[in-house]
Structures are given as structure tokens and as C-alpha cells.
Amino acid sequence: MNEQQQTLWQFMSQQSDKLLMQTLQHIGLTFISLIIAVIIGLPLGIWITRKKQFSGIILGIAGVLQTIPSIALLGFMIPLLGIGVKPAIVALLLYALLPIIRNTFTGIDGVDASVKEAATGMGMSKWQVLSKVELPLAMPVILAGIRTATVINVGVATLASYIAAGGLGEFIFGGISLNNTNMILAGAIPAALLAIIFDFLLSRVQKLNFKKIKTATAALPVLLIIMASFYFIPSAYGSKLIAGFTPEFMGRQDGNLGLRSKYGLKINPVVISDAVMYKAAYEKQLDVISGYSTDGRLKAYNLVVLDDDKKIFPPYYAAPIVREDALRRFPDLEQTLNLLSGEINDVVMTELNYRTDYLHQSPERVAEDFLRSKSLLKPARGGNAGVVRIGSKIFGEQYILANIYSLLIKGYTDHDVSTKTGLGGTNICFGAMENNQIDLYPEYTGTGLLAILHPPAKIVDALIADKDKTYDYVAKEFEKKYNIKWLKPIGFNNAYALMMREKKARQLNIKTISDLKRYLESKN
């Protein structure tokens, strides 16, 4: 425990520059969007107290906006506003609107009718009734709304890092991807503290008496603007090409750290979610991104992979892994599965992924079309000599492979097949295999090495550059430890890769990561 605290403290002090920058960005994002939300929400809330027939619609719309998942909302924003701070602010302000509109409405509506009548009866104009009576009396309720909105915004602002708007989410999501508790806490604790502090301060403002609330209401806009300006303190990126990496890639040795140490690449990337990164590259919001080499979006968005000429990305060659007892039970299984060996290279796999992920064709159909094109498709024999259980992880490529294997087994053997697709991540899928719930699933050499075997760093370093050595090592160790056999590799390598828009890469004549480095360092 003590050690854990110490290391967290060490991590935070080590990263104090970054932490301060992210915290300032976080506060800035929260308050910029809050100010805009107040500027929009307050008049709207007042307006619907005057036009009650619209109150249902307006509050309904604001309510619906709040139910849109934040990631989806951020996704919608990209075609309209690109990535970075603009869409983040718009998304945050949409979430902040509901509490502000609703509380303004409730607060003003709740002002004692006889007080309003007295104000009018004494000869106050509509504007005077609003500014001298209704707003001051509704202020505690309106402030409660702003308080709620602030706390919501501090929370949602963590997601801003998905679209390269910075904030404490960079640490949180980086930490989750890298399973680095200290990193998660270094982002989560300050974010939680911000929420608690702002909530407390605003609760104090709310409890002030009428006299002081006047001063507070006057001081609040000034304070908000100061807070909002925090966002602009950390300087923006200043590179010729804008790079966007996933939080996971940012913190990995076989990711950004390796790019820095092995290539000396200084590109100062923004942190962005995998979900929106490819699209952002396509829309010229980003020039260089970190991705997976067989991702279907490569084809969809016309991106090219830069050659990893110094071999820092470990190989992730796919191969079926099968329980030994299943191979004994189904003697013709191995040769059937090996029919696929060498048939799918990176380009083919990317194409297949493109058809499912982007053209939304079913994995069954894609698998069938592929086998037909390779003249490997045979009609199902409808045999009943036992059932082979095929598993897959929960992404498109795995579904396609599972379907291909299923068709092959049905066509070339007398066995029947049951598929258990969508088994979450590696741990779940491999766990199912260990527990004899599935007989086989497609796995990647890099995953087998780093996520399942966890060998000491020395062994990893020795193996990582060489795809054959990695394959041999995992095959041997799986046999020994789990009685699971790696069959022949399918042919493609779904590894980390740097990629650029094809046109841009051609224009700048960048083919390899070393080319990229040379370009960045030229004309500086």
C-alpha cells in the first residue's frame, strides 16, 4: 500500500508538467462550455417561463441531448467541427444546457406570484420585474443548476481527450489502455478533486444571503471567464504535421515511446480515441495516426501504412490456436484449418475488414465470398461426427475468420460447428479456451507473447523484431504451459502501424517512418 502511494506520488511529481497542463486544460474546457451554456440556457429558460407552451419542447430537447452517449455526440461533431477543442466545447455545453434551462425555468416559475404581482402593480416594467425581482429570487435555484452543470462538465470533460482536446482524460484513458493504475489515478484524482472543489464553492455561493448573492452574481462571470482562459495557457501544438495517437499507443514501448527512443521522432502528438482517429485523418484534421495495419478503415479512408524500417512494432501474425485434445478428437481438423494458411495477406485482410466494418456486409457473406474467390468453398456435408467449438474476440476481423473456419470445417469434414463469437477481449477468449468451452480461435503472436505469456523484458526484446522467432517462442510455450497448439500462420500481420493519407504521403514522398522523421527535421 505504502509503496503504491509512493509510486503514485512519484508518478505525479515526475509528470507534474503534464499534470498541470492537463488540469488547466480541464478547468478551461469545463468553464468555456459552462459560460456558453449559461449564455444560451439562461435566456432560453427565461423565455419558456413567458411562453409556457414551448417549455415542454425545449426541456424535452435538452433532456434528449443529455441522453446521447458522450462518445457518440463527440463522433457526430467531427464532420461538422473537426477534432480538438471546438467539438469538445459544443458537446460539453449541450450536456450543461439541461440543468441550466430547467433550473432557470423552475426558479423563475417558483417566484411567489404575489411578489410578481406587487412588482407589476407598483409600476415596474417587464424588464425591471425580471432583473429586480424574478432573477434575484430565482438565483439560488439557477445557481444550483449551474452547480450541477459544472460537476457534469468536469466529468464529461475527461472524454474530451478522445477527440484531441486534452484534459485529464489523457491520463485516465491512457492509464486504462496501458493498465497503469498510477496513470489512471493521476488523472482521476485531480478530476474528482476538481468536481468536489467546484461543487463546494458553488454550494457556498448558493447559501449566501440576498445581499451577498448580489455581489456574488456580479463576480461570477468574471471568475468564470478567468477559469475559462486557463485552457489557452498550455501552448498549442507546433509541428509541421499533426499527429494523433490513441492513449494506449502514447504510453507503450512499442508505441510512441519507441518512436521517440528508436527513431528519435519528435512529433508532439495529440491524444485521440481510436473510434474517431481514422475519420479525423481522412478529414485532414490529422496527418499521421497510429492504427492497426489490417483495419478496414485504412481502405475506407484511403490511408497508407508507413514502413516500420527499424522494427519497433512487434509482429502480430494471426494463426488459429487449438486445444490439443480437440486435435486428437478430430484428426482431420488440423489439415482443414491449415487450408487457410498463407491465403490472407495484409491487403486482403484489410479488404475483408473494409467490407464488414465499412460496407456493413455480414461476416458470413464476406467469409463465403472470400472462400469462393479462392475456390476453397465446398457445400456443407451436413456430417454429425462431433461438434467443433469455434470462438472469436469481439471485433470484425475475428468474426470473419471464425466464419471462414466454420465453412471450411463443414465443407471438408463430417464435423458440425458451434460458434461462440464476440467473447470480449483476449482474457475472456483465452479463458474460455482454457476452461474447455471452445476448441479453437484465431490469435495473434504479439498478443500471445505480451498479453498471455508475459515473459521477462529481456526475452521480449530479443524476440520482438523477428516474426519467426516470436511465433516459435509462443508455439513452444503454449504447448508446454497450456497444451494448446499454434497452427500455421494465416499470413497477415495485424500490428501497430503509423499511417497517413495516401495523397499526402505521396506528395511528401514519405514511405517509411525514417522518411517521416527526415521530413519533420528538414527545413526547421
Neighbours of 58 (CB within 10 A): 20
Nearer to other proteins, 211 or 523 (CB): 211
Answer whether 105's CB lies under 8 Å from 43's CB: no
Please pick, from the candidates 61, 109, 136, 465, the single residue that binds other proteins as defined by CB under 8 A: 136
Q: Which of residues 191-230 bind other proteins (CB under 8 A)?
A: 210
Residues 6+ away with beta carbon under 8 Å from 266: 260, 520
- Options 89-97, 109-117, 309-317, 351-359: segment touching other proteins (CB under 8 A): 109-117
Closest by CA position to 187, among listed 206, 174, 168: 168
- For position 502 contacting other proteins by CB under 8 A, the verdict is no
- Options 30-38, 127-135, 385-393, 433-441: segment touching other proteins (CB under 8 A): 127-135
Please pick, from the candidates 61, 71, 124, 377, the single residue that binds other proteins as defined by CB under 8 A: 124
- For position 115 contacting other proteins by CB under 8 A, the verdict is yes
- Tell me the closest approach of the beta carbon of residue 123 to other proteins, in angstroms: 3
Answer whether 517's CB lies under 8 Å from 312's CB: no
- For position 144 contacting other proteins by CB under 8 A, the verdict is no
Answer whether 110's CB lies under 8 Å from 141's CB: yes
Nearer to other proteins, 219 or 233 (CB): 219
Nearer to other proteins, 117 or 479 (CB): 117
Please pick, from the candidates 59, 77, 97, 133, the single residue that binds other proteins as defined by CB under 8 A: 133
489-515 burial, b at 16+ Cβ within 10 Å, e below that, comes to: bbbbbbbbbbbbbeebbeeeebbebbb
- For position 54 contacting other proteins by CB under 8 A, the verdict is no
Nearer to other proteins, 123 or 382 (CB): 123
- Tell me the closest approach of the beta carbon of residue 207 to other proteins, in angstroms: 14
CA atoms of 207 and 147, how far apart (whole Å): 12
Answer whether 22's CB lies under 8 Å from 167's CB: yes
Query: Is 117 exposed, middle or buried, given 0-12, 13-18 or 19+ CB atoms closer than 10 A?
Result: exposed
Nearer to other proteins, 132 or 506 (CB): 132
Please pick, from the candidates 72, 118, 225, 385, the single residue that binds other proteins as defined by CB under 8 A: 118
CA atoms of 429 and 447, how far apart (whole Å): 12
Nearer to other proteins, 117 or 325 (CB): 117
- Options 121-129, 142-150, 152-160, 456-464: segment touching other proteins (CB under 8 A): 121-129
Q: Which three cell numbers stand for residue 7?
A: 509510486
> The sheet that has 318-323: what strands, in order across it?
416-420, 387-391, 440-444, 318-323, 484-486
Pairing outcome for strands 387-391 and 318-323: unpaired
Nearer to other proteins, 121 or 238 (CB): 121
- For position 50 contacting other proteins by CB under 8 A, the verdict is no
Residues 6+ away with beta carbon under 8 Å from 295: 278, 350, 353, 357
Residue type (1 letter), 93: L
- Options 20-28, 133-141, 215-223, 481-489: segment touching other proteins (CB under 8 A): 133-141
The widest CA-to-CA distance across the chain, in whole angstroms, is 98
Nearer to other proteins, 214 or 365 (CB): 214
- For position 125 contacting other proteins by CB under 8 A, the verdict is yes
Q: Which three cell numbers stand for residue 436?
A: 474447455
- For position 261 contacting other proteins by CB under 8 A, the verdict is no
Nearer to other proteins, 129 or 298 (CB): 129
- Options 113-121, 192-200, 474-482, 492-500: segment touching other proteins (CB under 8 A): 113-121
- For position 474 contacting other proteins by CB under 8 A, the verdict is no
Please pick, from the candidates 21, 137, 376, 508, the single residue that binds other proteins as defined by CB under 8 A: 137
- Options 123-131, 322-330, 395-403, 469-477: segment touching other proteins (CB under 8 A): 123-131
Binding mask 359-398 for other proteins (x = CB under 8 A): ----------------------------------------
Nearer to other proteins, 135 or 344 (CB): 135
- Options 28-36, 96-104, 107-115, 482-490: segment touching other proteins (CB under 8 A): 107-115
- For position 40 contacting other proteins by CB under 8 A, the verdict is no
Nearer to other proteins, 112 or 309 (CB): 112
Nearer to other proteins, 109 or 369 (CB): 109
Answer whether 356's CB lies under 8 Å from 297's CB: no
Please pick, from the candidates 2, 51, 67, 123, the single residue that binds other proteins as defined by CB under 8 A: 123
Please pick, from the candidates 59, 74, 92, 119, the single residue that binds other proteins as defined by CB under 8 A: 119
Answer whether 288's CB lies under 8 Å from 263's CB: no
CA atoms of 391 and 423, how far apart (whole Å): 7
452-486 burial, b at 16+ Cβ within 10 Å, e below that, comes to: bbeeeeeebeebbeebeebbebbbebbeeebebbb
CA atoms of 136 and 358, how far apart (whole Å): 54
Answer whether 297's CB lies under 8 Å from 357's CB: yes
Per-residue 3-state assignment (H helix, E strand, C coil) for 275-302 = HHHHHHHHCCCCCEEEEECCCHHHHHCC
Nearer to other proteins, 111 or 495 (CB): 111
Total binding residues toward other proteins, as defined by CB under 8 A? 18
- Tell me the closest approach of the beta carbon of residue 106 to other proteins, in angstroms: 17
Residues that bind other proteins (CB under 8 A): 112, 114-115, 117-125, 128, 132-133, 136-137, 210
